[in-house]
Structure 1
């Protein structure tokens, strides 16, 4: 399983399942990267959309 393929899959259940399997450091890294993808220039529009869907899905999870 490729973590980023799952996180950027646009499937909330796959996103959340993969994210919940990560350790705390990995979770922090993933969230930070997704935030950069949605706020920095240079990302393809489809990448931005995938990152936005992932952040929305993760927003529904309880905080660690």
Structure 2
């Protein structure tokens, strides 16, 4: 996952397996950063009282 408050993810394994070079990894990281939202939110839905992201932080890697 690219952010604790979002569901977007960046697959770094595939480019490393396809072309195990620093350049391939660098390009994959840059592409992920370009997709990353500018801001962060952890808004809880007022009607359902559900968090914006329904996963535990340990799944994210925190």
TM-score, length of structure 2 as denominator length = 0.32
Higher relative contact order (Cα pairs below 8 Å, separated by 6+ residues): 1
Structure exhibiting the larger radius of gyration computed from Cα positions: 2
TM-score, length of structure 1 as denominator length = 0.31
Judging by fraction of residues, say which structure has more helix: 1
